Amino acid sequence: MSTEAGMSQKRLAVVTGASSGIGAASAKALVEAGWEVVGLARRREKLEALADELGQAFSYQVCDITDEDSTQIAVEAIVSKGPVKALVNCAGGAIGKSPVAASKIEDWRAMYELNVLGTLRITQKLLPSLQESEGSVLVISSTAGIEPYEGGGGYCASKSAERVMARILRLELIGEPVRVIDIAPGMVHTDEFALKRFDGDQSKAQAVYAGVPNPLTAEDIADCVQWALGQPDTVDIDQIVVRPRAEGSYTKVYRK
Ligand code: 8X3
């Protein structure tokens, strides 16, 4: 499909982690830009609310990408309706902020299962459809995958793995009509990221953003997603690193 032909036809994007944060914002931005979007997430009620808000251009599959059967069922339902033009991998998160010496193995395992293996699983399953459509794999990684920081062991390791996976996939697909895009956000203030990291502890979650003028929002990242996917099929935005102006690195943040 040529770029111009592709623009005039239906463009279907699959967004993982669509129930909240960057995933929900990306689904909205893509619908606003004329895409049809299938949102994947575990929480049906959140997906239903998004469907009510976004209307016909948005549908969803309740899906846990850490589960093989759940993902297979969702993918079969999606590809039966036609080729997928973009996969936006937003599902992911941080669990805990303990030093390596004291980290819980199960926290690391959960982050690997979701951030790395879940992304791998859904990407593998949708790749044939993306190849058919001259599509794009987009990964929301993190600056945590570029600059490790104390206490970030499991999360930084998983995000490094996710970034490396995207980079290697890009190399392995050279010559094929598929783009691989890695967007690495720094500090993004969403409702759930820090709360999940700190096991629901509101004060620890709020301290992450305390005094920081204008942390990024989920909508800022969704703009990057929409812009990167909106480039011509032959233009691969390999990597975007995006931070709030007040953040130079995880450990160099201006607070008022
Ligand atoms: C989130 C960025 O800085 O909290 O992916 O690790 S950070």
Compute, in angstroms, the gap from residue 212 CA to the centroid of ligand 1. 14
**Residue 256 counted as domain residue:** no
Q: Is the dihedral of CA 69, 71, 74, 79 positive or negative?
A: negative
Compute, in angstroms, the gap from residue 237 CA to the centroid of ligand 1. 21
Compute, in angstroms, the gap from residue 144 CA to the centroid of ligand 1. 5
Please choose from 150, 209, 250 the residue to mutate so as to test ligand 1's pocket, defined by most ligand atoms within 8 A of CB: 250
**Residue 18 counted as domain residue:** yes
Predicted confidence at residue 145, as pLDDT, reads 98
250 tagged catalytic? no
Q: Of 155, 209, 250, 254, which residue is the catalytic one?
A: 155
Which atom of ligand 1 sits closest to the CA of residue 193? 1
Q: Cα separation of 124 and 169, whole Å?
A: 10
Q: Whose CA is nearest to atom 6 of ligand 1?
A: 144
Residue written as tokens 């599509």? 135
SS3 59: strand
**Residue 255 counted as domain residue:** no
Q: What is the CATH number of the domain that holds 111?
A: 3.40.50.720
N- to C-terminal Cα separation, the chain:
51
Which atom of ligand 1 sits closest to the CA of residue 197? 4
Compute, in angstroms, the gap from residue 135 CA to the centroid of ligand 1. 28
Predicted confidence at residue 9, as pLDDT, reads 75
**Residue 223 counted as domain residue:** yes
**Residue 72 counted as domain residue:** yes
- The parent domain of residue 85 ranges over 10-247
**Residue 2 counted as domain residue:** no
Predicted confidence at residue 8, as pLDDT, reads 55
Compute, in angstroms, the gap from residue 122 CA to the centroid of ligand 1. 23
Which atom of ligand 1 sits closest to the CA of residue 194? 4
Q: Cα separation of 12 and 54, whole Å?
A: 15
**Residue 253 counted as domain residue:** no
- Residue 89 tokens read as 């991998």
SS3 87: strand
Number of domains in the chain: 1
Predicted confidence at residue 4, as pLDDT, reads 45
Instruction: Give residue ranges with CB within 6 A of ligand 1.
Output: 142-144, 152, 185-187, 250
Q: How would you classify the pairing of strands 239-242 and 247-249?
A: unpaired
pLDDT in tens, the chain (256 residues): 444 444 457 899 999 999 999 999 999 999 999 999 999 999 999 999 999 999 999 999 999 999 999 999 999 999 998 999 999 999 999 999 999 999 999 999 999 999 999 999 999 999 999 999 999 999 999 999 999 999 999 999 999 999 999 999 999 999 999 999 999 999 999 999 999 999 999 999 999 999 999 999 999 999 999 999 999 999 999 999 999 999 999 999 999 9
**Residue 28 counted as domain residue:** yes
Q: Whose CA is nearest to atom 4 of ligand 1?
A: 187
Which atom of ligand 1 sits closest to the CA of residue 159? 5
